[in-house]
Amino acid sequence: MHVSRWLLGSVVGSVLVGWVAGDACDDTARTLLEAAKHEAQADYWVALANCLNDPDANLGDCEEEAAAALDEALELAEEQYDARLALCAELGGGPYAPDLDPKEFTSRVDNRLFPLRPGVTMVYEKDGADGFEVIQVRALKDVANIDGFPCRIVHDVSWLDGVVQEDTLDFYSQRMDGTVWYFGEVSQSFEDGFLDSLEGSWRTGKDGAQPGIIMEAAPVVGDVYRQEFLPMVAEDFARVLAIDETVTVPLGTFHNCLKTEERSPIEPDHLEWKYYALDVGLLLTVDVETGEREELVRIKR
């Protein structure tokens, strides 16, 4: 016990050498950089261990592949660090710990740009490089209590070429001022018919996770806000780009739409534009790099 504590103290001390604690947001980014580096190094050694346990493996090739993966992971860690610092600067720094009172929240979500009507299903389609995807998003009648907050449950399922790829439950609650907050998700990813991962799952109050804003009550161009927060798991944020867009999707043409830019420091190169229509909600998601469009095709009541 005493030895392990001494080792832990040595590791922490080495990370903090030359580092004078300052802004909590920047310090968090610095600490997550160290975490990502250690995780990358651990993955390198695990890859080598798997090679040693494989009688058919060429150890030289294995080491080369593991080293290349390590270099790539370390480069990504630096890019994530830069993205986190940039976001800290936009948000004004400081710790992210919203002071919210459950008594000010309701599971009735009627924000005009993000209405959740129990029993209504939004159907989206995307014809992309990976295949034809269908996504159904249904607001359930069920309500969950997440860390004391009453949350509307939304069931989101996506099929790729007819095969289920993801099955997710999202949890939203609306504040008295009309702002819709996001309190967590259970994300299941499937491969070859088997549950493959719960990556991206989080909920407010567990392991330090904090809720974020999914839709402002009155969006203003230039607003930037976190949508979720659990370091290295859920770090999405949004920026309001426009409030007067005209958008055409298979369901029709809509005016005075909200346009947001959404990204995450975890995937610093990935950028999406999202468009929302009054009294409808999300109309369109565009992958800025590929141009792929996920469009609202119908609403089932």
Block residue for tokens 């995937």: 267
pLDDT exceeds cutoff 80 at 67: yes
Block residue for tokens 């799952």: 201
pLDDT exceeds cutoff 60 at 242: yes
Block residue for tokens 């029993």: 119
> What is the structure's pLDDT at 22?
75
Please state the rounded mean pLDDT for residues 92-107: 96
pLDDT exceeds cutoff 50 at 144: yes
Query: 34, 93 in Cβ contact below 8 A?
Result: no
| pLDDT tens, residue by residue, 245-296 | 999 999 999 999 999 999 999 999 999 999 999 999 999 999 999 999 999 9
The tally of CA atoms less than 13 A away on the side-chain side of residue 290 is 12
Please state the rounded mean pLDDT for residues 172-190: 98
Please state the rounded mean pLDDT for residues 175-199: 96
Which residue type, as a one-letter code, is found at position 291? G
Query: 237, 224 in Cβ contact below 8 A?
Result: yes
pLDDT exceeds cutoff 80 at 63: yes
Please state the rounded mean pLDDT for residues 180-192: 97
Taking the C-alpha atoms of residue 227 and residue 224, their distance in angstroms, rounded to an integer, is: 10
pLDDT exceeds cutoff 80 at 106: yes
Q: What is the token pair recorded at 137?
A: 């998003």
> What is the structure's pLDDT at 21?
59
Please state the rounded mean pLDDT for residues 109-129: 97
pLDDT exceeds cutoff 90 at 115: yes
Give the phi and the psi of residue 59 in degrees, each rounded to 5: -60, -35
**Taking the domain 102-300, which CATH number applies?**
2.40.360
| pLDDT tens, residue by residue, 4-23 | 444 445 445 545 544 555 79
By percentage, how much of the chain surpasses pLDDT 90? 91
Domain ranges of the chain: 2-91, 102-300
Please state the rounded mean pLDDT for residues 50-65: 92
Please state the rounded mean pLDDT for residues 83-102: 96
Mean residue pLDDT across the chain:
93
